[in-house]
Structures are given as C-alpha cells and as structure tokens.
Amino acid sequence: MKARTTGAYVLIALGAVATAVVVFSRGTALEAVFPVERACRAFSGKVWSRVKGACRGAAASAENEALRREVAALALARDEAARLEAENARLRHVLGYTERNPEAWLAAEVLASSGSYGPRRTLRVDKGSLSGVCEGAVVVVPEGLVGRVESVTPHTSEIRLVTDPSVGVGCEVSLPGGGALRGTLAGGTEERLVLKHILSAAEVPPRSPVYTSGLGGVYPKGIAVGTLLEVRNDSDSPRREGEVLPAVDFATLRDVFIRRER
C-alpha cells in the first residue's frame, strides 16, 4: 500500500515537472520569438502604412487631376460663351445698322489691312462686283466715315481709308450762331486726321463734331468724321487747319458698309 502511494506521488511529481518544463519551454520560446515578432509587426506596419499612403496619395492625385481637368473644361466653356456673346453682339450691331436702310448699304467683312502708316492705307473686304460693289462707292461704319472703294474684283474690294492723304473729303463744323466752318479732310493717322483749307476765321467751340459737307457730290452730307480738337494757322498756307479725332477706330475694323449705287 505504501509502495503504491509512493508511486503515485512520483507520477504526480513527474507530471508536474513535465508540465513545468513544457510551460517553461513554451514561455522561453515565446520570449525568444517576441523580438522577431515585434520587428516583423513594426516592419509590416510601416510597409502597410506606406502602401496605404501610396494608394491614398495616388487616389488623391487622380482626383486632383480630374478636378483640374474639370476646372479647365469649365474655363474653356466660359471663354467660349464670352466669345460667342461678343460675336453675337457684333452681329446684332451689324444687322441693326443694315436694317435701318437695307437697300442703301451692303455689309462686308474685312479680310486684310495694309496698316495706317504704310504708303497704301487700305482695307480689303469680302464683297465685290458680284455683290453689286462699284468703284468709288462710299464706305462707312455706324460710328462714321471709313473711305471709298478704290478697286473691285468679282469677290473682293479694296477700300482707300480717309487716313490716306490722297483722299480729300469735304467737311464742315456747325457754328453756334449759324453757318458752318468748312475745310477738306486731308489724311492723317488712325489717331488724328487733318482738316485743311479752312477759310473761316470763326471761333469753334471745343470738341465740335465734324461731318461730311456733301460738297462735290462724292460723299453724302451728314456722315460723321470725327471731333475737331483745335484749329491753328497752317504753316504752309495763309489758311487754317484743324486737328480731328477720328470717329472710327480704324485699328479694330471687322465689318464695314458699302453704299450701293442706285
């Protein structure tokens, strides 16, 4: 009986020792692999965070690029709308002018310009003899006088501008007490025209409007030419001459109106 008890105790002791060995071994093993696990976890955490960051950055970059494209498309649409509105306003202006007297004037688009300081100050437009344009026809815009048709082809016309010294235009300025101060427009530049051969010694109010006089029968009476800025003595003549601010902005002409011959 005593031997059995002793054997049981021995077995219990051996089990406890084995359990302790197993537990100790497992703990030792866990402690041994802990640094490796921690390093792996830290490494995987950093790598994963970078991967996630890269993915998020790529997604954000793609979204930003898409937004940039959308903003650019909206800007282009806005600019196109503004351009179309400006073009519509220009065409309404043109049509409004021709509707006042559709039989008297023919609208034409400017194709080219020789410039205002060259030897030939001209415009070329897209209407010619097939549209009824004749040499010598008067050319205007709603603001005032542009010039005369100098030559014609079937589909185009060349217009000599009033800025050219070879174009003489009879003009007049109304005087406050009645009557008119008359002279001849004798060229100039896009910024200033010259009114020569002024015979009257009358004083003219500042910035008086200048119109065609109708004398000579070439230009109809009453077409705006510009604004008289000053009158001075002509250095080459006992007559006086005036400086005129043009009514027309020659540098921006896009459409003109040619008087039809009746």
Residue 72 token pair: 């650019």
13-53 pLDDT, tens per residue? Answer: 555 545 544 444 544 554 554 565 556 666 656 655 665 66
Given this model, what pLDDT does residue 117 score?
Answer: 46
- Please classify residue 49 by burial: count the beta carbons closer than 10 Å to its beta carbon, then call 0-12 exposed, 13-18 middle and 19+ buried: exposed
Q: Is 189 helix (H, G, I), strand (E, B) or coil?
A: coil
Q: How much is the pLDDT for 21?
A: 46
Please state the rounded mean pLDDT for residues 88-98: 60
Sign of CA dihedral 115, 121, 127, 130: negative
DSSP SS3 for 58: helix
**H/E element, 41:** helix 2-100
Cα separation, 203 vs 212, whole angstroms: 19
Q: Say if residue 138's pLDDT is above 70.
A: yes
Tens digit of pLDDT for each residue in 208-226?
A: 999 999 888 888 899 999 9
Round to whole Å and give the CA distance between 165 and 186.
5
Report the range of poorest mean pLDDT among 6-20, 58-72, 240-254: 6-20
Token duo for residue 83: 């351009």
- pLDDT score of 90: 58
Say which residue, 87 or 232, is predicted with more confidence: 232
The CATH number of the structural domain formed by 104-262 is: 2.40.10.350
Residue 193: which pLDDT band, with cuts at 50, 70 and 90? very high
The pLDDT assigned to 232 comes to: 82
- Given pLDDT bands bounded at 50, 70 and 90, which one contains residue 2? very low
Per-residue pLDDT at 71:
72
Q: What is this structure's pTM?
A: 0.60
Spans of all domains in the chain: 104-262
Q: Does the pLDDT of residue 173 top 70, yes or no?
A: yes
Spatial contact of 173 and 200, defined as CB atoms under 8 Å apart: no
Give the whole-number percent of the chain exceeding pLDDT 90: 26
Hey, which residues does 168 pair with through a beta bridge? Answer: 186
* Type of residue at 178: G
pLDDT reading at 148 higher than 90 = yes
The mean per-residue pLDDT over the stretch 49-74 comes to 69
Q: What average pLDDT does this structure show over 164-181? A: 87
